[in-house]
Structure 1
Amino acid sequence: MPSKILSFNRGLFAQNLRSVGWIGIVHFLLWFAAIPLQLLMAYSQQKDSGHYPEWESLYSISASFQTMIVFTLPVLLSVLLFRYMQGKQSSDFMHSLPVQRAELFCQQAMFGVLLIVIPIVLISLLAIVCRYGLSLSVPLTIGDIIRWMWETAIMELFVFAAGVFVGMMTGMSTLQVVFTYILFLFPAGITVLLLANTSFLLVGFSADYYLSKNLEKIVPFYRYLNLETKSLTTGESLVYLLLIILFLIFAIWLYQKRHSEAATQALAFPALRPIFKYGVAFCTMLLGGFYFGVTQNQFAWILFGYITSSLFGFFIAEMVIEKTWRVFYKWKGYVYFAAAMVAIGFLLHLDITGYEKRLPALEDIRQVYFGSSVYDFVNNDKRPYVPFEQENQFLKEKENIRAVYAFHRQLAKDQPRPSRFTDQRQVVIGYVLKDGKRMIRQYSVPSKSYFSYYKPILESKEYKKNYYFLLRDQGYSPIRQITFRHPETDERTLTIIEPQQIDSFVEALKADLLEEPASVMLDAGKAWKGDIEFLQSDGDTFLLSWKKTYTHVEKWLNDHHLLEKAREDVE
């Protein structure tokens, strides 16, 4: 005997077909315009000119338009199917019918699922007919089309289920739409804000390190756009299916507990109101701190951003809840919030976990990274190419490890903070321990104050081999041409193509690079305003600034009577 909850009610189905069925037609027509119509136009183009678009998958066809369909139609459908809940009279009428609430919810949800799945299946069949029936010369297979059908159906059902879930918590259709899109962006957004603000408050904390973990994958909009190049993995598909099920389970649970009086209310459940109010205040506080932290980089301005933004968010949330601007008398709620935030900030300042002072044991370090880019530390050994000046290589010699360790120990002691009034450099120190674990810290360091710590690291042969592409034993093809370029016009002033001259010039340049002092490496101003361009035998090029301290290069040019030509019009 079938479950009462899942039983079919023809009256409700007919009513939905009359009132909401048009969404299914619009859904089909939009997908028809996005894919089959494009295939028909490609056939016409192929027939007339013999050319056809180079589509690698169905996602390549009207990609932006497809994304718009996936993230608008299901949300609109979730709003219209449950719109009766947002009005007192319509809600009372629907719930007075001889139908259990759970049965009513399931029938509405299943009707929505049908309006999503059926058009997508029909479009897939039409795509197959167009591809093979018209003998289109495009690299699309049945497997590609089935993949598109499966992934698009999952994404649309996910968006629909999220819209339904959000709809159970609000009594206003407009807010249902707004909250649904906020839900999609919230996980990534709150992660970014939390990490960025932690980096302002905790010296050495590297938000970039954690933000380099492909955080955009959890943003549904981005993930769908990226399906063209990378399909959903089995794990991702299971996660989306689990989220769909959870959204619908929680939605039906909330639906059964929701009172008719919740219609027209911003939040359907009183318990959600403090969560919403303080949640908005917290998020806007982080956003304000992030803005002033990035633009001003001073703690006083960051604190100003926290206070003003949280005040704004708190009272805006109150206005949404109460549906009036007369909410400023509820200032005591903000005082409680502010006290809690001050307590959390004070605990961060105390660094009760010892994060700011923590260093690994020197004997446990296998190799150390010293540079300025967190992303280079994370992606080292994974990059398909290596740039000319690359500060992302690890140092393995014991002397260099000790030098970096001493630098880090001093930074942990001094805890330098970012300042707009001193010349500072980003210093990223990353450790790879013998057990495989990693540890990373990031600082803004005034170069002059810590020059004595920079010097032994930057002037070491190992570091220079990592820093300068030209000093490496392997990694670049034989050089077949060297070009000096004018600093302003970028025009060639001198070209060297004689193999023997190229070899001797490179040796002279290597000698200058090995002898280059740390003070010059830290000061980009000690260079001619021009570049030396190296053309490799494989066609790739790389550039090197011609610095005033390159005495071996200058002597070589002078000995070959090329100095004046190379420095033509260069002051």
Structure 2
Amino acid sequence: MIFNRLYFNRGILYQNFRQHGWLGLIYLLLLLLSLPLNIGTAYRENAEKINSLFMVRGELLWFFAISIPVVIGLFLFRYIQAGGPADLYHSLPLKRKHLLTMNLLTGFVMILVPIWITAGVTGWVSAVVKEPAYIFDGTAVWMWGVTMSMVSLFMFTLTVAVGMCIGQSILQGLTVYGICLIPIVFWGVFELHLMRYLLGFPDDAFQYGRTEISPIVRISNLNYAPEWGELGIYAALTVILVVLTYIFYRKRHVESATQAITFRIVKPIFRFGFMFTVVLVSGAYFTMIEPRGSEFWGVTGYIIGGIAGYLGAEMIIRKSWLIWSRSLLPRFAVYAGAVAIILYVPVADWNGYASNVPTSDRVEKVRIGGDHFTYVDNNYIKMDDDQFYSANTGYIDAVVTLHQKIVDSDLPLRPLGVNRDARDEEEVRIDYQLKNGKTLSRQYYIPTSNFQQELMDVKNRDDYKTTRYETYILDGEVRNIGIRSGYNRDRTAFITNPELIREFKALLKEEILDQSYEDQRSPWETFASVEVYMNIPESSSKLMLDGVNRSATYEIKPSYSRLIEWLKENKLYDQLRVSEDEVASAQFIKQEINSPGNVKMVYADPQFIDGNPQGNQMIVTKNKKIISELLQRQRAGFYTDNDTIYQIKLNFIRGQNVYMILKEDDLTEEMRAILLDN
């Protein structure tokens, strides 16, 4: 009897449901409108088989799961955040553990009952609908209920636990979402810090783990029910938070209501966390807007962020902007020192990160170029890594030699968001798999001219060309091949004959593997682009994708003479070639690029010719020889800060006009004569 009266006090339960029960009803109504109503009224000609109910308006369901429980927690425990209610409730003849149990029980009921009523209604609707839009079994309903329960209870108990340490409801709610979002903000901006001040740090080092450490981001990105292991983590965290809630509540003073921070020990944690977050955000912002040639904006951002973050934390804790005291500066110095150490140690020279180059005998295999993705069903899917690594000792030696020279050259740190000199800059991404089982990854932006011999030794090897140009795809079964002219996108050719497909694949692969380092860096546009459509058999293990269709794109460069000759022999070349007789005239407009230190991308710009914004003189010619020479080559876009180029427009008698560019050095004698005469 005594146990029932204390732990299941009917008066407290009745008061809670009378005062806050409407929140549970709103939760139930929102869930019913989002799931069973949608399932019952949706119409599809062909029913979609789904294995998770989160594939039906999952974004709304996840939003409700991370928002409504937080609101319930704020309302149910509002009594500990306001002075009058706190005195009243704690004057009742109930121990705190009894009072806490009643409110936790109320919250659990208001969360779980709507979820399982919705699950039951969803199962009933799916059984009675004659023409369902979605087909699923009872397991999907059960997993939906368990998942929503675990996530909702986690957000509710987190809100309650935070409320024991925070004395204001608004700050409590902000802190709950801050705790969930700070991990992704922290890793995102800390990654920028490492990219800016640590030579060789890859820009995707945290790419795959970043969303995993933020519950809200992780949940909002799911369109399926998590695995049991992940649900187990939420269940364990919920139990831990309940235990912490009882401990905190027992230690909490009644008079701490309305205070920003209720426990003295939490104040330094809050100060440091708030200050460090502001430091990172401010430093990242100043680094991103850093003017060209400046190296101190990022440091200035850290200093400004440290001052603003510390003062902001003090104002929140004291609930006043009048925070000056003798201890303010010494305490700030301690916190600033701790922040400086955390920022400096990972990027310090003595930690050995920047200078770490493995010797060839420590490397099991290596790859250049980073991760590869395949486009399947409107999504990019990361491909299996193993096929892109090479264990060839000669290739490993070449990559290690390049890596060692990069480190020894003492390259300057690359400012974020600044393309210092893209004319002579190349990205190099190196991934080693070491014999001790570890992985070592580095990413650099290097001036090509300083490493030409080392780059040539790497790029002239078949190991590099196979992965860089994806020639391994040509070894698979190809359904058909489409070829599109690089000079006129309307000109296309298709190969469907199996014998011709085999010949074309073999020649294309040979041309790719035989191309020289100079061919790979060719400044000329391709003669044509090739789209290869594959059928991946279910037994394929290379892509780790069963029974899917995928495509790959290749280039037919002007240097691929054997392949071009094959196209002529099989009467495909004429379907792609543009004749000078089809062009009525060619228009030239001179464009001067003179912006020293400000590198810009130059490309064929229709607006420059058609709009002629600078009012430059336009030269028009109908000379068939000149037009023929233009059709044989056109320069690809390039970076420059000082060049003379010609924007050119080919006016076709029929069809779409073509735009191209040539540098002044590319002009033939006939072109120069016409341009000089005018």
Scaled to the shorter chain, the TM-score interval is: 0.7 to 0.9
Question: Is the CA contact 2:491–2:575 (under 8 Å) kept in the aligned structure 1?
Answer: no
> What is the rounded CA distance, in whole Å, between the counterparts of 1:413 and 1:353 in structure 2?
16
Question: Is the CA contact 2:480–2:494 (under 8 Å) kept in the aligned structure 1?
Answer: no
The equivalent residue for 1:468 is 469
Q: Which moved more, 1:274-283 or 1:91-100?
A: 274-283
The equivalent residue for 2:485 is 485
CA distance 1:320–1:514, shift in 2 (3 Å):
same
> What is the rounded CA distance, in whole Å, between the counterparts of 1:512 and 1:189 in structure 2?
47
Match of 1:338 among 331, 336, 339: 336
2:421 partner SS: coil
The equivalent residue for 2:117 is 122
Q: How many Å apart are 1:74 and its aligned residue?
A: 0.6
Q: Which moved more, 1:159-168 or 1:337-346?
A: 337-346
User: Aligned letter for 2:204?
Assistant: D
The equivalent residue for 1:109 is 104
Structure 2 residue runs of 5 or longer lacking an equivalent are 374-379, 537-548, 584-630, 635-678
The equivalent residue for 1:22 is 22
User: Aligned letter for 1:35?
Assistant: L
Once the two structures are superposed, residues 117-145 of structure 1 have per-residue CA deviations (whole angstroms, 9 ceiling, x without a partner) of 11212222222222224556442322221
User: Aligned letter for 2:427?
Assistant: Q
CA distance 1:112–1:565, shift in 2 (3 Å):
closer
Q: How many Å apart are 1:171 and its aligned residue?
A: 1.3
Percent same amino acid at aligned positions?
Answer: 25
Q: How many Å apart are 1:534 and its aligned residue?
A: 4.2
The equivalent residue for 1:13 is 13
The equivalent residue for 2:459 is 458
> What is the rounded CA distance, in whole Å, between the counterparts of 2:126 and 2:117 in structure 1?
14
Q: How many Å apart are 1:156 and its aligned residue?
A: 0.6
CA-based RMSD of the aligned residues comes to 3.4
User: Aligned letter for 1:517?
Assistant: S
2:28 partner SS: helix
The equivalent residue for 1:255 is 249
The equivalent residue for 2:211 is 216
Question: Is the CA contact 1:79–1:164 (under 8 Å) kept in the aligned structure 2?
Answer: yes
Q: How many Å apart are 1:166 and its aligned residue?
A: 1.0
Residue 315, structure 1, aligned to residue 306, structure 2: no
> What is the rounded CA distance, in whole Å, between the counterparts of 1:480 and 1:51 in structure 2?
29
> What is the rounded CA distance, in whole Å, between the counterparts of 2:97 and 2:382 in structure 1?
58
Higher strand share: 2
The equivalent residue for 1:198 is 194
Question: Is the CA contact 1:486–1:530 (under 8 Å) kept in the aligned structure 2?
Answer: yes
Question: Is the CA contact 1:369–1:392 (under 8 Å) kept in the aligned structure 2?
Answer: no
Question: Is the CA contact 2:485–2:577 (under 8 Å) kept in the aligned structure 1?
Answer: no
Question: Is the CA contact 1:482–1:502 (under 8 Å) kept in the aligned structure 2?
Answer: no
Residue 425, structure 1, aligned to residue 426, structure 2: yes
Q: How many Å apart are 1:165 and its aligned residue?
A: 0.9
Question: Is the CA contact 1:483–1:533 (under 8 Å) kept in the aligned structure 2?
Answer: yes
CA distance 1:541–1:362, shift in 2 (3 Å):
closer
> What is the rounded CA distance, in whole Å, between the counterparts of 1:225 and 1:282 in structure 2?
26
Task: Point out which structure has higher relative CO (alpha carbons under 8 A, 6+ apart).
Answer: 1
Q: How many Å apart are 1:318 and its aligned residue?
A: 2.5
CA distance 1:486–1:204, shift in 2 (3 Å):
closer
CA distance 1:548–1:310, shift in 2 (3 Å):
farther
Q: Which moved more, 1:393-402 or 1:342-351?
A: 342-351
Q: Which moved more, 1:424-433 or 1:298-307?
A: 298-307
User: Aligned letter for 2:75?
Assistant: L
CA distance 1:440–1:258, shift in 2 (3 Å):
same
Match of 1:356 among 348, 354, 360: 354
What does residue range 481-520 of structure 1 map to in structure 2 within 5 Å?
Answer: 481-487=481-487, 490-492=489-491, 509-520=508-519
Residue 279, structure 1, aligned to residue 273, structure 2: yes
**Bigger CA radius of gyration:** 2
Once the two structures are superposed, residues 334-371 of structure 1 have per-residue CA deviations (whole angstroms, 9 ceiling, x without a partner) of 44433333344444454333222223342232211122
Residue 81, structure 1, aligned to residue 76, structure 2: yes
> What is the rounded CA distance, in whole Å, between the counterparts of 1:473 and 1:19 in structure 2?
65
Question: Is the CA contact 1:5–1:106 (under 8 Å) kept in the aligned structure 2?
Answer: no
User: Aligned letter for 1:357?
Assistant: S
> What is the rounded CA distance, in whole Å, between the counterparts of 2:46 and 2:462 in structure 1?
57
Once the two structures are superposed, residues 10-68 of structure 1 have per-residue CA deviations (whole angstroms, 9 ceiling, x without a partner) of 221121122112212222222222223334434xx69xxx8767665422333222122
Q: How many Å apart are 1:249 and its aligned residue?
A: 1.3
1:209 partner SS: coil
Q: How many Å apart are 1:157 and its aligned residue?
A: 0.4
Question: Is the CA contact 2:480–2:501 (under 8 Å) kept in the aligned structure 1?
Answer: yes
> What is the rounded CA distance, in whole Å, between the counterparts of 1:552 and 1:328 in structure 2?
80
The equivalent residue for 2:236 is 242
Q: How many Å apart are 1:236 and its aligned residue?
A: 1.6
Question: Is the CA contact 1:209–1:375 (under 8 Å) kept in the aligned structure 2?
Answer: no
Once the two structures are superposed, residues 448-507 of structure 1 have per-residue CA deviations (whole angstroms, 9 ceiling, x without a partner) of 22222111110012322332334x4963334754523244x6211556677777666656
Residue 150, structure 1, aligned to residue 150, structure 2: no
Q: Which moved more, 1:274-283 or 1:534-543?
A: 534-543
Residue 550, structure 1, aligned to residue 560, structure 2: yes
Q: How many Å apart are 1:430 and its aligned residue?
A: 1.6
The equivalent residue for 1:379 is none
Q: Which moved more, 1:398-407 or 1:555-564?
A: 555-564
Q: How many Å apart are 1:227 and its aligned residue?
A: 5.2
Question: Is the CA contact 2:481–2:495 (under 8 Å) kept in the aligned structure 1?
Answer: yes
